Amino acid sequence: MEDEKKYQPLLDIEKIAPLLNKISLFGGLTPGHLALLFPLLQSVSYKAGEIIFKQGEEPTHIYIVRSGEVKIIVNIDTRPLGIVTFSEGQCFGETSAIGIQPHSASAVAVVDTELIVLTTEALLSMFEHAKDLFGLLMLNLAREACRRLQKTDEVLLHYVHKEIDR
How much is the pLDDT for 89?
87
Whether 113 and 67 have beta carbons less than 8 Å apart is answered as yes
Say how far apart CA 26 and CA 137 lie, in whole Å.
Answer: 7
Residue 84's domain comprises 2-164
Is residue 1 predicted with pLDDT exceeding 70?
A: no
Minimum mean pLDDT range among 40-54, 87-101, 128-142, 148-162: 148-162
Whether 104 and 92 have beta carbons less than 8 Å apart is answered as no
Residue-averaged pLDDT of the chain = 86
Is residue 159 predicted with pLDDT exceeding 70?
A: no
CATH number, position 101: 2.60.120.10
pLDDT tens-digit map of 29-79: 888 998 899 999 999 999 999 999 999 999 999 999 999 999 999 887 677
3-state class of 66 per DSSP?
A: strand
Backbone angles phi, psi at 78, to 5 degrees: 65, 10
SS3 percent helix, strand, coil of the chain, rounded to 5, is: 45, 30, 25
pLDDT tens-digit map of 63-120: 999 999 999 998 876 776 777 899 998 999 988 888 778 898 999 999 999 999 999 9
- For the chain, the domain total comes to 1
How much is the pLDDT for 130?
94
Give Cβ neighbours of residue 155 (< 8 Å, ≥ 6 apart): none
How much is the pLDDT for 44?
97
61: part of which helix (H) or strand (E)?
strand 61-67
How much is the pLDDT for 3?
53
How much is the pLDDT for 151?
78
